Amino acid sequence: MQKIVFTLLLFVASQFAVAQKVKVNESTETIDKLERSGLFVVIDLDHKMIDKMWEKQLKSYGKTESSKGTYTLPVANVSAISSNPVKIVSKVEGSGKGTKIWWTIDMGTSHVTKESNPSAYKAAEKILYEFALECYRADINNQIKDAEKALNTSVKNQEKKVKEGENLLRDIDKNKQEKINLEQKLKDNAAELERLKKDVEQNKLDQAAAASDVEKMKKALDVVKSKLDELK
């Protein structure tokens, strides 16, 4: 839970930090045994993710040919760089710091560099810079989605625990009531036992009285029978 909160609180700060660490520089690369001037940016993110996003962006400029991490657009329309079609060769490769995106833009008479075409260079530099930011935003948004999923799981777990607590409190109340009922039942049972004991004692007296009555009735019967004998 602390990790989730930490991720959400750092979102704005991380946007600022990311913007500061994105640097676009010039370099030369050898492609198909030819040395070409171009621009590159290093993005500190997963190579597969960056490669997929960059290929999608290149396809927005024209038909793309790819081979082993190298993309070629024989005819590319990048209005920010030139009003005429240009040729783009780009390479995506993993580096010690993340993923390196390099591209060279052939204007027909020369490749885009700071010296040969400053305005086109700035446009190409801006495209790489904004692409890097977009990659970091996508990564942060993925982190937020993961954090939201984890937060939802935590909320559901919290709700579950609250419900368990409510059930436990109800069980305690039920247990207390059962105890009260049991104590009352024990009291009633004890009172009933005393009543039964008294009834037993009274029954003994009643039995004795009944036995005495039997004896009296026997004697009375004998008296009546003796009167019958006197008539003989």
* pLDDT tens track for 186-202: 888 988 888 888 888 88
pLDDT higher than 70, residue 57 = yes
pLDDT higher than 90, residue 53 = yes
* Cα–Cα distance, 134 to 43 (Å, whole number): 11
Q: Which is nearest to 93 in space by CA: 117, 77, 69?
A: 69
Q: What residues contact residue 7 under an 8 Å CB cut-off, 6+ apart?
A: 143, 144, 147
Q: What residues contact residue 125 under an 8 Å CB cut-off, 6+ apart?
A: 24, 39
- Neighbour count for residue 202 (Cβ, 10 Å): 10
- Neighbour count for residue 18 (Cβ, 10 Å): 18
Note the pLDDT tens digit of each residue in 74-105: 999 999 999 999 999 999 998 777 899 999 99
Please tell me the predicted confidence (pLDDT) of residue 15: 46
Please tell me the predicted confidence (pLDDT) of residue 16: 45
Note the pLDDT tens digit of each residue in 113-149: 999 899 999 999 999 999 999 999 999 999 899 889 9
- In the predicted model, what is the mean pLDDT of residues 222-232? 74
* CA 109 remoteness from chain centre: 55
Report the predicted TM-score, pTM, of the whole model to 2 decimal places. 0.67
Please tell me the predicted confidence (pLDDT) of residue 3: 53
Please tell me the predicted confidence (pLDDT) of residue 61: 97
